Amino acid sequence: MSDRYSSIPALVLLSLGTLLGADKETTTFQSYVDSDLCSHLYAGGLTQTRISCSKETYKQGSNPVLVRLKDNWVFDVNKEKMIKHLVGGLATASGQVNYGDSTMKLKTIEPTTEGAIPAGEKLHTMLDVRHTKANPGTYEKIRHTLAMMPYVSYFDFISFTLNGSEVILTGWTTRQTNRYEAYNRVKQIEGVETVINNLSVTPLGTMDNQIRAAALAVLQRNLSRYFWGGGSAIKIVVKNGDIILLGMVSSKADSDIANIRCNGIASAFHVFNLLQVTPEPAKKEKSK
């Protein structure tokens, strides 16, 4: 069931789902056609960086998805061929959505433009980052709260965007409990009224687990300085045979090493190398 019902007892939820189909509705909405990867990496405004990410990662094999503009909710669609040519653009979508598993049975899809969306509507928050407002104190509380979650590993990447009193959780986790915990922790923070939970739970099948272990081994062996204790500067997301490398390294050479080593894992289908190169600041020379 969706996180909107997380505080309702399970028996009541079962009744609601059975009698009312509570998590399903037929609807029409304005959307951004994204790649699955970028929809869980970014949230908020449609910057050129995000649009480029959508188009590039779709070409590399990431599935197309719909992101509803009014709240950034990500939907997997049953007919991907209807939206694949629209990746990186806006569209009006209609069909039946299921909030429980964030899927949509697509009926129609029509391309649209930013100019077709009435000025002043909340949808423009997604279209222009200048509409986004974040209280620094609330932002830091959310960041700290998520950083203190106990069961986040090398294989989890949890991020968020704050706009006013609304928080959008994004990323990937190997634990369903992490998805629920992130939502519940953030929801309790003063100043937060709405939480959109776009955290994706990655599969724990035998093949993906083998890829995780192999990727961690080669990266720790070749780039050990980015790993420490239970944490790391490099995150390894594995989903259906694909490896997504996230985080920061200090040189292009290190990014290339990570890419080459992970591409050498025989069972991996594709490596999406999204590591950011952030050179370490130069050390100041001591005065004599």
pLDDT tens readout for residues 8-54: 444 333 344 444 455 788 999 999 999 999 999 987 778 899 999 99
**Residue 85 in domain:** yes
> Does 92 share its domain with 79?
yes
C-alpha closest to that of 41 among 186, 150, 134, 158: 158
CATH of the domain at 230: 3.30.1340.30
pTM: 0.81
> Does 37 share its domain with 120?
yes
**Residue 238 in domain:** yes
Band (164; pLDDT cuts 50, 70, 90): confident
Instruction: Tell me the helices (H) and strands (E) count for the chain, helix number first.
Output: 8, 15
pLDDT digit string (tens) for 268-286?
A: 999 999 999 988 776 655 5
- In three-state secondary structure terms, 52 is helix
Band (242; pLDDT cuts 50, 70, 90): very high
**Residue 286 in domain:** no
**Residue 282 in domain:** no
pLDDT of residue 116: 81
> Does 41 share its domain with 69?
yes
> Does 145 share its domain with 170?
yes
Q: Quick check: 135 pLDDT over 70?
A: yes
**Residue 15 in domain:** no
Q: Which domain holds residue 141?
A: 136-201
**Residue 20 in domain:** no
Which residue matches tokens 């994706």?
A: 200
What domain count does the chain have?
A: 3
**Residue 231 in domain:** yes
CB atoms within 10 A of CB 265: 20
Are 83 and 74 in contact by the 8 Å Cβ rule? The answer is no
* Last residue of one domain, picked from the residues 82, 97, 131: 131
Helices (H), the chain: 10-20, 36-39, 48-59, 124-127, 136-147, 176-187, 206-222, 252-263
pLDDT of residue 9: 43
* Last residue of one domain, picked from the residues 201, 219, 248: 201
* Last residue of one domain, picked from the residues 201, 235, 257: 201
